[in-house]
Structure 1
Amino acid sequence: MRKNVVGRAAAAVVALGFLTSGCSDSEPAPESTVLHFGLQTDQPGLGYTDSQRHSGFEYDMATWLADHLGVQFAVVNVKPDQREEFIKSGAVDLMIGTYSKTDRRLDEVSFAAPYMLTQQGVMVLSNDTSVNQFEDLADGRTVCAARGTTSIEQLKERGVNVREETGDGACVNAMLSGGQDVRAVSTDKLILHGWANHDPHLKVVEPVAFGHQERYGIGLKKGDKALCEKITAALKQYLISGVWENHFRNNLGSDLSFQEHKPDPNRMDRCD
């Protein structure tokens, strides 16, 4: 076990050293270079694993990013409340998992951002007609959200009764089962659209959008400015290449407008 850990750490050092050494993207990386990317695996359309098959926008983006950087990658399943811990411990080299850049998180990790924009939304069972506006959530019903997300604090600030679960999938299962008094699920609206596309028993309450803008970024160890700038440059290329739009349509559907979700590639965040 110790040999595996040491070997993985050594490979990561070689890989990250290559990425920050100033080599061109077209120059081949060492053949054994494998980076560990943290991804969500219970978010259809964004990051989802079913019978060991990975899919979703973020998985496709991770695949593009690894190819662009000339490395291979392995997927590490990371729960929302584990993200900072996994980055700081080195369990993942890059965190790609609907990871909103916030001031609080910047105290612990760095971000290359943004690659996606969204806002908080609400999802209910498809036959539920009782929720048409945010105020309908304040009637005592329980709204589920994943622990360690920005959704929790934004719901509590607005006086909503919140049930915390380990991930969005657990929230969806709690609502579908009907046995835990969960009447709605709240998280980023894009995540909800992915679930609604995945399961016809679910629907997004379209008029409801609230809270601050969520700006998804790629998390990495705090203070690694060279790597942050390398990943930011790659994300800018991803946004202007046309691949971003293809990945969005393929994973989140052609009916969902991407204009409000795509960042301006000429206004990427600075790496501090």
Structure 2
Amino acid sequence: MRFSRTVRAGVVVTALALAVTACGGKKNDTGTGSGTSGTTSGGSGLVAKAKNDKKLVVGIKFDQPGLGLKTPDGKYTGFDVDVATYVAKQLGVDAANITWKEAQSAERENLIKKGEVDFIVATYSITDKRKNDVSFAGPYYVAHQDLLVKSSNNDITGPESLNNNKKLCSVKGSTPAQNVQTKYANKVQLQEFGKYSDCITPLLNGALDAMTTDDIILAGYAAQHSGQLKLVGKGFTDEKYGIGLKKGDTEGQAAINKAITDMQSSGEWKKALEAAMGTSYKIPSPPEITEKS
């Protein structure tokens, strides 16, 4: 009986060790090792994740018609969705094995850094500031910041007409909001919401004078509310849309760049853009890939 306390202590230590081991092997919701989406037992990074797991978590917008939209029946449509699906297919992952996750503008870097998504295709402008936190592939599209107003509004003709305390809506954490704050903040009342779709109702009822973001996004809303809203049509920036992924994943970056290039050369890029935006939308030339390690 003299050794019973020692034996009991040894049992406790062993149990604790087993518990720690079990916790360390627990997987998160994306099916990867805890903490980093894209890290697997067979290697690290997006390419290894796709090869080993045959499934991916992709961040998109849920409220942008023509780009990234979750429909009432639970489907996902739009150009960004098509681009993401093509990239995933090139990585060896079928569309059925993609889990779509909403990526609001202010949360995109955090989603990538925390490993909650494997990559993001969500009208994600490439900027030097963002490249401090994530890596980009692409661009896969170049948009231009513009303005959306009521069809009856003839006062707002461009950013220079945003004066007399006009009320302008954009989204927190977005490049357009930052552009307005830098260049026009002394002329306009900027109201930042969580989603672009949050701007539409107050714009329609006159509580807001205009909404600003990239022209391709605004064109989708104008088409959705034909006869009620119109695009001013005076773009005043170049916004290079990139595909965001974990910082430093050069293999993943190269693989996505190849997929974008293949999509462009095959004609699928133009086909997807026409299907998403309609034949009345002027299709630009595909952009040159600039984000390389």
TM norm structure 2: 0.81
Structure 1 stretches lacking a partner, 5+ long = 22-27
1:69 aligned partner: 91
AA aligned to 1:169 is S
* Aligned partners of 1:125 and 1:202 also within 8 Å: yes
**1:125 matched to 2:147:** no
Counterpart for residue 194 of structure 1: 220
Partner of 1:5: 28
Equivalents in 1 of 2:151, 2:176: separation in Å? 22
The corresponding residue for 2:77 is 55
Shift of 1:12: 4.1
Out of 57, 80, 102, the residue aligned to residue 105 of structure 2 is 80
Higher mean C-alpha displacement, 99-108 vs 229-238: 229-238
Q: Secondary structure at the match of 1:113?
A: strand
Match of 1:158 among 184, 189, 204: 184
The structure with more radius of gyration: 2
Q: Find 1:89's aligned residue among 99, 114, 133.
A: 114
CA contact (8 A) 1:42 1:168 kept: yes
Which residue of structure 1 lines up, in the alignment, with residue 165 of structure 2? 140
Query: What is the number of equivalent residue pairs in this alignment?
Result: 256
Check the 8 A contact 2:46/2:249 in 1, yes or no: no
Q: Which residue is equivalent to 1:224?
A: 249
Residues 159-178 of structure 1: matches in 2 within 5 Å?
159=185, 160-178=188-206
Q: Which residue of 2 aligns with 1:204?
A: 231
**Which residue matches 1:25?**
none
Structure 1 pair 259–8 and aligned structure 2 pair: CA distance change class (3 A): same
Say whether the 8 Å CA contact 1:12–1:34 is kept in structure 2: no
Give the partner amino acid of 1:263: P
| TM-score when normalising by structure 1 | 0.87
- Aligned CA distance change for structure 1 residues 129 and 138 (closer, same or farther; 3 Å): same
Aligned to 1:36: 57
Contact 2:45 2:251 in 1 (8 A): no
Match of 1:253? 278
**Equivalent residue for 2:287, pick from 253, 257, 263:** 263
CA shift in 2, pair 1:103/1:12, >3 Å: closer
* Cα drift, residue 167 of structure 1: 1.2
Give the Cα–Cα distance (whole angstroms) in 1 for the partners of residues 177 and 46 of structure 2: 36
| In structure 1, distance between residues paired with 2:210 and 2:31 | 41
- Cα deviation, 1:74-113, whole Å, max 9, x if unaligned, reads 1001110000000000001101100000000011100001
Q: CA deviation at 1:139?
A: 2.4
What does 1:104-123 correspond to in 2, within 5 Å?
Answer: 104-123=129-148
Structure 1 residues 143 and 18, CA gap change in structure 2 (3 angstroms): closer
